[in-house]
Structure 1
Amino acid sequence: MDGPTEMHNAGPEANAQLVDDEGAGVITAPTAAKHIVSPPNIVQMLEEGGQHEEIEQTQGLASHDDSGLEDCTDGDSSETMSLSTTMYPMENGRRYHALSQGKYMLPNDEAERERLDFQHELFKLTFDGEICLCPGAATAQRVLDVGTGTGIWAIEFADDHPRAEVIGVDLSPIQPIMLPPNLRFSADDFEMSWTYSKFDYVFFRQMAGCLASVPEILHEVYNNLVPGGYIEFQDKAFPIRVDDDTLPQDAALYKWSTYIIEASIALGRPINTAHTYKDLLTNAGFENVVETQFTWPQNNWPQDPKLKELGLGMCENIDNGLEAMSLFLFSHGLGWNIERIYTFLIDVRKDIRDPNVHAYWSIYVVHGQRPLSYQISPHA
């Protein structure tokens, strides 16, 4: 029997429960951290302008071949940056990573960075103020944040755990300069061979669609964890889901979510992998594998106050990131031109904000532990 699966869709005061795969028993879920935290107020953040202004559609109307390079050596990162990591290519009005070009589908410009930081607050609201659920996080001495992005998770973890050494790695050196003393960032391609010292805890968030082979990454993580070390994934599942008939399969939003899958597969980095993590971790040799599912409504259609607030935030998150999530995938993976993309997104945006559409995203959190005894990953 694999590890238990948790379903958590209730409000903030509900007790999380773990149910084993055969439904044989229910136990109270342990909390991941001991400090007291407060979940963010998404409504207040939006009212105070916490999210960036919507990107003008006209900025992306250049042809697919109209691209350039932008040199960004303005001290975004704590590392000395070379031209190979900072000569960012421009495409359709958006800026992308330079290191290992084409591996990551989303831009790294200011608008996308603001969206990612806002999305971090959605995760915190989901977890009642926490940023991770792994039971080994609180005592980890060496921590790796894979695909750290803006570095917001790593910064918060380092602040909360001052005795831990935290490393954030990403293709883009876009992280801030002012950092906790126990944190450093590295511009690196984590799909290459790892040369790190071993870690107690390796963290992945929103990395579906970024990995060519999850099993290969798990092999690297397994062999770079100390015995008893933990791995944690947090990811959104594709396609979008609905439990009634308010979003038929021919609706623009549903088709958009399936086109995202189709394009990611065509580019060799499938985005519909979150539901496979539990089995993949087990097959890779990890023990105590636990899967937890949460719900992000697409807008504020639910009656439950917490889900309504999450829906409000998710509506802004997807709406403001719609171009970022579509431009590269649809142009490179589906062969669409820019005019076709923007025309299609008009109807997608309508569905996103329609409270009569009862759609939602499933958020998977999966963590597992390397066995205490020394052994090589079974897929070496």
Structure 2
Amino acid sequence: MRTDADIMPLRMDLEAERMDFQHMMFQNMYEGALFLSPIKLDANSSVLDAGTGTGLWAIDLADDNPNTKVIGVDLSAIQPAFVPPNAEFYIEDLEDPWTFSKPFDLIFARMLTGSIGDWPKFYRQSFEHLSPGGYIELTDIVFPIQCDDGTLDKDSALYQWGKLTVDAAAKLGRPLRTTTAVVSELVDAGFTDITQHHFKWPTNHWPKDPKMKELGAWTYEDVGKNVYGLTVALFTRGLGWTLEEFEVFLVQVRKEMRDPKIHGYFPIYAIHARKPDET
């Protein structure tokens, strides 16, 4: 989902293609699963895809669960016109008060870091609109880029790009998320049974493992080739850089991101938490 204050503006047609490509990456990483929460959907279930984007996840879920109602919400009307009969899409701002008439059994939110200004409020509203025993599932990318073998120097342009991205987002009131903050705020909202899953997206094809090598190549297509569009507003609006300064900086960032001798990766987390049963 994107907002008027979005810190990562892109051409919407290109962003839609990137969202669909990213959905494929998650499908591959999850070996075909659409979510990780331990919940079985049935004819009485209802699911909210918060920040649905192109709606591809919601459509796939609706196709796989034809008796489950699936609602997708986003600020951008980029969802297809023809969708499964059990899927509905609405153009709304998730930061406004929620007005859904019935509770959900699963609230799903993926790759929304930087799109929500008040995450504790988002978690509170999610809690209020879940059925007892229902789950919230959150999946996102973490900045800056990490490395386990010392091949990514913290003075490098690639590492500094990630660090400065975090700094700029905070200055613009759109903080990028860490797992520590997410878990703490979920607890404060009343959630229990919080479970974390951690993954790595290599910055390019550097891994030896064939599956991770392929994932790294996809990550470069998803992020590496889009570093300008993903972060230009952050650097110019948040840090006050000129476009010329930013473009010169990105020359080295791109060079390092595609260098297989640098074994960097983006941490990816998936966290699901349950609303307690009524007592």
TM above 0.5, one fold? yes
| Paired position in structure 2 for 1:346 | 251
Question: Which secondary structure state, in structure 2, belongs to the residue aligned with residue 143 of structure 1?
Answer: strand
- The CA deviation at 1:320 is 2.3
**Cα RMSD over matched residues?**
1.7
Change (3 A) 1:252 1:208: same
Question: Which secondary structure state, in structure 2, belongs to the residue aligned with residue 283 of structure 1?
Answer: helix
Structure 1 position 120 matched with structure 2 position 23: yes
Q: Which amino acid aligns with 2:103?
A: K
Separation of aligned partners in 2, 1:258 and 1:318: 15
Question: Which secondary structure state, in structure 2, belongs to the residue aligned with residue 302 of structure 1?
Answer: coil
- The CA deviation at 1:131 is 1.9
- The CA deviation at 1:244 is 2.1
Structure 1 position 250 matched with structure 2 position 155: yes
Question: Which secondary structure state, in structure 1, belongs to the residue aligned with residue 224 of structure 2?
Answer: helix
Deviations 1:88-126 (A, max 9, x none): xxxxxxxx96xx522352325111111111111111111
Query: Which stretch shows the higher mean deviation, 336-345 or 166-175?
Result: 336-345
| Paired position in structure 1 for 2:75 | 171
Matches within 5 A, 1:84-99: none
Change (3 A) 1:132 1:108: farther
Question: 8 Å contact 2:20–2:54 — kept in the other structure?
Answer: yes
Question: Which secondary structure state, in structure 2, belongs to the residue aligned with residue 292 of structure 1?
Answer: strand
Change (3 A) 1:321 1:137: farther
| Paired position in structure 2 for 1:154 | 58
| Paired position in structure 2 for 1:202 | 107
Structure 1 position 271 matched with structure 2 position 176: yes
Question: 8 Å contact 1:238–1:257 — kept in the other structure?
Answer: yes
Which residue among 35, 48, 51 is the counterpart of 1:132?
Answer: 35
Identity between Structure 1 and Structure 2 (%): 42
Question: 8 Å contact 2:7–2:169 — kept in the other structure?
Answer: no
| Paired position in structure 2 for 1:180 | 84
Question: 8 Å contact 2:7–2:231 — kept in the other structure?
Answer: no
Question: 8 Å contact 1:112–1:321 — kept in the other structure?
Answer: no
Separation of aligned partners in 1, 2:48 and 2:11: 20
Deviations 1:106-154 (A, max 9, x none): 3251111111111111111111111210112534711111111111111
Report how many aligned residue pairs link the two structures.
277
Separation of aligned partners in 1, 2:80 and 2:248: 36
Separation of aligned partners in 1, 2:129 and 2:278: 14
Matches within 5 A, 1:5-84: none
Matches within 5 A, 1:328-339: 328-339=233-244
Structure 1 position 189 matched with structure 2 position 101: no
Question: 8 Å contact 1:232–1:368 — kept in the other structure?
Answer: yes
| Paired position in structure 2 for 1:323 | 228
Question: Which secondary structure state, in structure 2, belongs to the residue aligned with residue 129 of structure 1?
Answer: coil
Question: 8 Å contact 1:198–1:224 — kept in the other structure?
Answer: yes
| Paired position in structure 2 for 1:79 | none
Long gaps (5+) in structure 2 = none
Q: Which amino acid aligns with 1:101?
A: D
Change (3 A) 1:349 1:113: same
Change (3 A) 1:255 1:208: same
- The CA deviation at 1:296 is 1.1
Separation of aligned partners in 2, 1:159 and 1:258: 40
| Paired position in structure 1 for 2:146 | 241
Question: Which secondary structure state, in structure 2, belongs to the residue aligned with residue 301 of structure 1?
Answer: coil
Change (3 A) 1:305 1:125: same
Question: 8 Å contact 2:203–2:224 — kept in the other structure?
Answer: no
| Paired position in structure 2 for 1:260 | 165
> Rg bigger for which structure?
1
Which residue among 132, 142, 146 is the counterpart of 2:46?
Answer: 142
Structure 1 position 368 matched with structure 2 position 273: yes
Separation of aligned partners in 2, 1:356 and 1:274: 28
Question: Which secondary structure state, in structure 2, belongs to the residue aligned with residue 235 of structure 1?
Answer: strand
Structure 1 position 357 matched with structure 2 position 262: yes
- The CA deviation at 1:277 is 1.9
Deviations 1:17-62 (A, max 9, x none): xxxxxxxxxxxxxxxxxxxxxxxxxxxxxxxxxxxxxxxxxxxxxx
Separation of aligned partners in 1, 2:6 and 2:251: 27
Separation of aligned partners in 1, 2:7 and 2:64: 29
- The CA deviation at 1:213 is 1.9
Change (3 A) 1:288 1:333: same
Question: Which secondary structure state, in structure 2, belongs to the residue aligned with residue 115 of structure 1?
Answer: helix
Q: Which is helix-richer, 1 or 2?
A: 2
